[in-house]
Amino acid sequence: MKYNIQTMMKLRSAWHTFRDNHPNLPPFLKDVLKKGIKEDVQFEIIAHYPDGSELKSGIRVRQSDVELFEALQSML
């Protein structure tokens, strides 16, 4: 995969803006990774819309998911 320096710089800038707008998320993600993503861990996400509606989804981590996360983590 070829990396474009300009694109990487834009992504870095966008990440810093996102991190500044949502300061609680990076420490949360760091804590999750520190504790580990193990089989049977549950992730839930809810999107609350201004009109009062919401969308929900969730997963229960399986062993194959753990293997995927470990492979992705080793790439970073």
Q: Write down the domain spans for the chain.
A: 1-35, 36-76
The pTM of the whole model exceeds 0.75: no
Q: Is the dihedral of CA 69, 70, 74, 75 positive or negative?
A: negative
60 backbone dihedrals φ, ψ, rounded to 5°: -110, 120
25-74 pLDDT tens trace:
999 989 998 998 999 999 999 999 999 999 999 999 999 999 998 888 88
23, pLDDT greater than 90: yes
Q: What is the pLDDT of residue 1?
A: 56
The residue-averaged pLDDT of 13-17 equals 94
Q: What is the pLDDT of residue 74?
A: 81
H-state helical runs in 1-76: 5-21, 25-35, 63-75
Tell me how far apart the alpha carbons of residues 69 and 9 are, in angstroms, rounded to a whole number. Answer: 25
Tell me how far apart the alpha carbons of residues 68 and 52 are, in angstroms, rounded to a whole number. Answer: 35
